[in-house]
Amino acid sequence: MSSPAPAEWQRDMDLTTANTLRLPCRAQFFAAPRTRAALRRCIVQARQRGTAITLMGGGSNVLLPPRIGGLVLQPALHQWWLESDGSRVRAWVGAGVNWHRLVMALAERGLWGTENLALIPGDCGAAPVQNIGAYGVELADVLVGVEVMSLDDGSVRWLSREACRFGYRDSVFKRELAGRVVITRLLLEPGREARPVLGYGDLAARVGDRPSALEIARAVSAVRREKLPDPQYLPNAGSFFKNPVVDEVVARKLFARYPQLPCFAQPGGGYKLAAGWLIDRCGLKGQRFGAFAVHDRQALVLVHTGDGDRAGLEAAASRVAAAVSQRFGIELEREPRMIDG
């Protein structure tokens, strides 16, 4: 007979409202440790019991199955603080801190670097996994390092930005370190000097000639609210598909046929295309697929209209991707992380 579950673990936890897509899901066990010591204790307890561990952040970028066996860990490390040595400012940020609130707090203090990333949902611990980005800025642009805790023994170490191996919506946490570590803390280095990035969309037109970081953060928030549905009222996971990056030959062929195609040269080579534009040109904006639909204002977003599950969502996403592949020859890749049962 197995031993009783530790007191900190909750049994048969309903996670339906803990993910922004509102996919029905129950966890066999659940814990939300508030300190690193409590987190380490949960990890050690799980290993001693032979219990599988599944990590979960704010639930904004995940696709949950109907049931998750083992222990679901959601670190509730909510502390953050600033340090300054005169020449630079550094922010130490717990994994459970809400990302948007952090961005606004830094902008209100006149610190630059994260303002274009305002209103991206989720907790800070999930930000490095996707290398979140928007309006020409990525987390990697302001991050110094990431503290991680081993899921094998609870040991702690720091990874430099280079060791995180960031790419477009990609990092070592989605590959070699997937399921091996939990992110506990971020170290960011926002700047005091103005460094506005206003080259995407109509952002420049929404702010003055010399905008503050807070003005840009507010403008980005306004744009996102206009274009993206609020998951509190219409369940969604934000951008469901990555913007595809293609080589120059493919980009030129597509642009010759579709001169209005948004196409952005990338520093590392290749061209990034707008997945939302591709989906929209397939006539799918507003299209319903059972309990799911392509949002009527932003084709990059799939919304849950009610009573659906992950299987239905996967079927809807496959139909959207197939339409884009058939018309443009471009294969779309999903952005949210798939969590296994």
Active site residues: 169, 239, 335
CB 187 within 8 A of CB 140: no
Residue listed under structure tokens 């948004």: 262
| CB within 8 Å of 105: residues ≥ 6 apart | none
Using DSSP bridges, classify how beta strands 245-246 and 271-273 pair: parallel, antiparallel or unpaired. antiparallel
Closest CA to 169 of 336, 338, 340, 20: 336
d(CA 293, CA 288): 4
* Tokens found for residue 189: 């280095």
d(CA 331, CA 320): 10
d(CA 218, CA 204): 13
What is residue 122's DSSP assignment? S
CB 242 within 8 A of CB 333: yes
| CB within 8 Å of 259: residues ≥ 6 apart | none
* Tokens found for residue 303: 């919304």
DSSP assignments along 39-77, one per residue: HHHHHHHHHHHT--EEE-SSSSSEE--SEEEEEEE----
The sign of the torsion formed by the CA atoms of 168, 219, 17, 310 equals negative
CB neighbours of residue 105 within 10 Å: 16
- Distance (Å) of CA 237 to CA 23, 60, 73, 229, 230: 11, 5, 20, 10, 10
